[in-house]
A = this chain, B = another copy of it.
Amino acid sequence: MNKIDVVELLATSPTGQTVTVQGWVRSRRDSKAGLSFIALYDGTCFDTLQVIAGKTLDNYQSDVQRLSSGFAVQITGTLVASEGQGQSVEVQATQVTIVGEVDDPEQYPIAKKRHTFEYLRQVAHLRPRTNAFGAISRVRSTLASSIHRYFSERRFQWVNTPLITTSDCEGAGELFRVSTLDALNPPKNDAGKVDFDKDFFAREAYLTVSGQLNAESYALALSKVYTFGPTFRAENSNTSRHLAEFWMVEPEMAFADLDDNAALAEDFLTYLFKAVLEEREDDMAFFAQRIDKDALTRLQHVAESSFERMDYSEAIVLLEKSGKSFEYPVSWGLDLQSEHERWLAEEHVGRPIILQNYPKEIKAFYMRENDDGKTVAAMDVLAPGIGEIIGGSQREERLSVLDAKLAARGLTEELDWYRDLRRYGSAPHSGFGMGFERVLNYITGMENIRDAIPFPRVPRSAPF
């Protein structure tokens, strides 16, 4: 049995041979001449394979005529050049076998017709069978492969930083607790507090909000590393931009300053976008046609642009002079809002822009303080159509400067291990974080981040 993936069959197979394909029926239409045209989908590419089944088949009436969207079938036949529109080859079936039926096709939750994305989230276990979510799934997988390939080719080691942590130094107030204590009657200590010494890890434990600090310890041993894994925020935000569980990519390089960091971010994004354009042409055509007409051109534009570099301070001046009336105020010392970021990238420079050297008050404690005493070596990559897509910094490698910041935050003891990295063979090092689903939405033009991950976890909802 010459069993073959639909993608391979459509792309490279010579006609005339006998092939066997397995997949699911997308649709069936019958001609008056007693032929059925079956669109067969197996998920390996966007396109379906056209199968022609005639009434000469023994089970034409009993089986073929019952086929509707969702039936699992195995089909054997001859691959021939197609005379119809929309495909170059088709299969003339000599055998059609029903593998799995759809009971009561009228009730099939994703029976062939348009569904809202909101509805499809309620059937997240079936939605990858639809055109849109098949395409998203393949683009997601291709994007992930490209990320690993990019780093692997450049000798970055993939480091799996821990998901469970007893450190709460980064995400105060937005952490999920991880516990095996009795939820109703937790053990208590003499002070009447929960006795976390009796918990699984003998301390209060949480789900991580970032692998960066751990990744730093590996960068200062292996030179170039990256993380790519799940990250968590217990933020009670029911918006189209927030997930409680999402995936993040965080490269970290030793002996690298902010310029090296910005160069990596530009090269990385360009590589990823080119890879998706090349490898998922079929799915991207769908997004441009049905989801967002700019999906392809936006991606091509970014992939071909050089990224502008600009200081935060210069951006503030430009925004103040822009004559635009923004919703949020613009002033040195305030963080930029999406409207400001998009004006800079879209209207001012018309391509991605890497904004650097932000006021230290609005950035994290681990970012390297600049000589001006006012700014830190932070950077955000702003892309047209979305705003911030990557955020990173050079890390503070000087123990005395770091110590002052840790002391001010009461983190000195908690992060003593992190101080060791500056105590023993410290080196300039830099890295950034990229939200995987956010980039996937940017690529596909999908609007809600819940549609960029297979099973979204959001406030009051974690089904399946």
Contact = CB atoms under 8 A, between A and B. Distances in A.
Nearest to A25: B425
Contacts of A202: 459-461
A222 interface: yes
Contact of A222 (B128, B157, B163, B181): B128
A464 B162 contact: yes
A152 interface: yes
Contact of A423 (B103, B157, B186): B103
Interface stretch (A134-142, A298-306, A345-353, A443-451): A134-142
Nearest to A68: B425
Given A180-B234, A214-B464, A230-B229, A22 B255 contact: yes
Interface in A212-228: 214, 217-218, 220-224
A462 B193 CA distance: 21
A236 interface: yes
Given A145-B148, A158-B145, A194 B205 contact: no
Contacts of A25: 425
B141 A158 contact: yes
Contacts of A101: 425-426
A412 interface: no
A407 interface: no
A159 interface: yes
A255 B160 contact: no
How many residues of A sit at the interface, in one of the four size bands? 35 or more
A461 B162 contact: no
Given A43-B221, A214-B455, A417-B125, A462 B164 contact: yes
Query: What is the count of identical protomers in the complex?
Result: 2
Nearest to A457: B164
Given A99-B428, A464-B214, A162 B457 contact: yes
Contacts of A276: none
A349 to B, nearest CB: 30
Contact of A144 (B100, B158, B221, B421): B158
Interface string A415-429: 001101111111110
A70 interface: yes
B128 A165 contact: no
B152 A70 contact: no
A408 interface: no
A129 B194 CA distance: 38
A329 interface: no
A434 to B, nearest CB: 15
B420 A109 contact: yes
Interface stretch (A76-84, A171-179, A263-271, A319-327): A171-179
Given A24-B425, A125-B214, A133-B221, 13 more contacts: A43-B221, A70-B425, A71-B425, A137-B157, A137-B218, A138-B157, A138-B222, A140-B157, A164-B462, A179-B179, A200-B459, A201-B460, A218-B454
18 contacts: A43-B223, A44-B223, A70-B424, A72-B255, A72-B425, A99-B427, A100-B397, A128-B217, A128-B218, A137-B222, A161-B454, A163-B230, A176-B200, A178-B178, A183-B204, A184-B188, A200-B234, A200-B459
The 8 A-B pairs at the shortest CB distance, nearest first, are namely A43-B222, A100-B426, A128-B221, A141-B157, A202-B460, A125-B217, A22-B255, A72-B425
